[in-house]
Structure 1
Amino acid sequence: MSETVAIVVVTYNRAHLLEPMLESLTRLERRPDAVIVVDNASTDDTPAVLERAQRAGALPLQVIRTASNLGGAGGFHLGVRTAYEGGYDRIWLMDDDVAPDPTCLTVLMDADEDCLMAVREDSQGRLCEKAATRFDLTHPWAIKPKTAMVETDYGFRRTMPARVELENVAFEGFMVRRRVVERIGLPDPSYFIFYDDVDFAIRARRAGFRIWGLRDAVLVRQLDFDQQHDLAGWKGFYMYRNLFVVHLRYGENLAVRLKPLLIALAVVLLSSLRGGRAEAANVTRALRAAWEMRALPSSSVD
């Protein structure tokens, strides 16, 4: 019997991207059994876009509008819970700024694997898949644990093998079977933004699930990647805090688990050259907050 699949989309104040993204879902060769959109209390035209899509009836659309912005992490937690409680066999996660190729869902559903990743291209057809083929939590000198990724390993989608094993992913084209959620629990909403997908993938791999990127499951990214954030601003706090949490939770030795302290010390000492007092305050606050989040998330979905 064919498996059922629910698509989970999280959106916040990007109606201009959400509308064409939903339109792209109507062109999927394999029709999804549900499309669950978590609207994180958007204040733009997002509610109107979703209302028009529901009226059109081209998608099996379920809209969840939150009372406040839960962040991407909270949105995916809620969306995955909703899909899991709906009884769907597979759950496909994506942001509002991608457009799957019409065959993308077919390719994913044809693969008999528990954890899969679509491969992202940019709007010009260039490979921009940043899922990690090596995520190093063993060596303390790897300041950034992502030391290799699909984009840098292969350069072009055509030079990839049909399947690439991944050590980490983004919630932008990632698909899991419900047994994965049964085993490891839901995405951790406490991350708010950044690294919730990293955390989930680490838990999945440590539970014995392998993650495969499929070359022929193509997802087109509508925006250029911009992973450079103001480390002295509010996003910088979450970048530091959540990076530290991953090391404290999953560092494979004491030296790796101590790395957040060394990073924080270096940032404070160099703050006059980088971000001044604001970045130093961010990283200090992030270290304290990460310590409070160091416990592993629950594996229960109840």
Structure 2
Amino acid sequence: MENIFKLGIIVPTWNSEKDLKPLLESFQQLTCKHQIEKIVFVDSGSKDRTVDLLCEIQKIPQNILPIKVLQLDRDKGYAHALNQGIYTFNNYFPNYLLFSNPDVIYPRFFLDKILEEVKGYETLNIGIIGPRVLAPIGNGKWQEENLRPRNLWGIPQYRPKDQKVYFVHSTHGASLLVKKEVLEKIGFFDEDYFLYWDEHDFCTRARKAGFSIVIVNTISILHHPSEIRSESQNKSKIFLYYQYRNQFLFAKKNYGLISQCLFLCIRFLVFVRELINYILKKQWAYAKTMSLGFLRGLLNEKGISKLSF
């Protein structure tokens, strides 16, 4: 007899007005033999028309899309929004929860196919599943965001192109399909990160608890991260800041002293390479931002930062 799973979807939003329409359209055209119990949009105090659009979305008949909208008074971080969405299930978790960025477009058979492809791996205790993630490169073209996958230490990971499923240290935070047993065993997302590296922390804790993490190579999503890239494809300042600050937090939470030192030495080399690149291009604002994030990480800052940009 074929298993029919119960599913839930959680989507944090913050000034996501431009992203909601394509995401919602992709949700509406999903064909899924499994039961989607609820789609929870969690807004973190948006200043644009995101909340108005969410209120309109909530009027969609529940038999078409079972949508719930949760409005928070202010932005306390991506992990906080995810956790607030989890709480709406009142500890009665569906078999799987999909944590999705708002700036994602899903293919029609996404849920059915991604669950179908991991069949046969039950003995490996898969707890977190991710798809291939494609990002725009201009002229209407898309490219995989991580063509040469590396683990969190920066070491290249072998990925056979003809293999449907491959195992990784961590998967992309734009779309995480998480088995309920993972949440029951390791808890929720760590809100100390505020933004970025929280998914790596979550995946690392899951691996330590005995779960496997996989990418399904045969299904892709489209990710157009407006908060990370401008039209010129430059990384945003907020991305640079939290990426470099939170690597210190991640190391201290997940590694012993020797591993911390090794990990941070490798990350320091990455920092120096990128810093030199910005200096050579005379992009002083980016060089200053990443240096500030690196310094505050060194000083053990966590949570939301007071930033002037």
Asked if Structure 1 and Structure 2 have the same fold, meaning a TM-score greater than 0.5 normalized by the shorter chain, the answer is: yes
Q: Which residue identity lines up with residue 287 of structure 1 in the other structure?
A: L
TM, length-normalised to structure 1: 0.77
Partner of 1:244: 248
After superposition, give the CA deviation of every residue in 1:56-103 in whole Å (9 maximum; x if it has no partner).
223100111111012212212222333462431210111011111010
Partner of 2:93: 87
3-state SS of the aligned residue for 1:56?
Answer: coil
CA–CA separation in structure 2 for the residues paired with 1:17 and 1:64? 17
Q: Is the 8 A contact 1:118 1:219 kept in 2?
A: yes
Partner of 2:221: 219
**Which of 286, 291, 294 does residue 283 from structure 1 map onto?**
294
After superposition, give the CA deviation of every residue in 1:280-299 in whole Å (9 maximum; x if it has no partner).
54432221125x79xxxxxx
Q: Which residue identity lines up with residue 8 of structure 1 in the other structure?
A: I
CA–CA separation in structure 1 for the residues paired with 2:141 and 2:91? 36
3-state SS of the aligned residue for 2:300?
Answer: helix
Partner of 1:48: 52
After superposition, give the CA deviation of every residue in 1:152-199 in whole Å (9 maximum; x if it has no partner).
x57xxxx44211111111222211111001111101111110100010
Moved more, 94-103 or 24-33: 24-33
> Do the aligned partners of residues 258 and 22 (structure 1) sit closer, same or farther apart at CA in structure 2, a change above 3 Å counting?
same
Q: Is the 8 A contact 1:162 1:216 kept in 2?
A: yes
Shift of 1:132: 8.5
Partner of 1:196: 198
CA–CA separation in structure 1 for the residues paired with 2:241 and 2:135? 28
Q: Which residue identity lines up with residue 284 of structure 1 in the other structure?
A: L
> Do the aligned partners of residues 105 and 245 (structure 1) sit closer, same or farther apart at CA in structure 2, a change above 3 Å counting?
same
Moved more, 49-58 or 254-263: 254-263
Partner of 2:84: 78
**Which of 114, 119, 124 does residue 127 from structure 2 map onto?**
114
> Do the aligned partners of residues 213 and 278 (structure 1) sit closer, same or farther apart at CA in structure 2, a change above 3 Å counting?
closer
Matched positions, count? 273
After superposition, give the CA deviation of every residue in 1:264-293 in whole Å (9 maximum; x if it has no partner).
9x87xx899585776554432221125x79
Task: In structure 1, list runs of 5 or more residues that go unmatched.
Answer: 137-144, 294-302
**Which of 75, 96, 107 does residue 69 from structure 1 map onto?**
75
Over the residues paired in the alignment, what is the CA RMSD in angstroms?
Answer: 3.3
Partner of 1:165: 167
After superposition, give the CA deviation of every residue in 1:188-212 in whole Å (9 maximum; x if it has no partner).
1111101000100111111111111
Task: In structure 2, list runs of 5 or more residues that go unmatched.
Answer: 120-125, 304-309
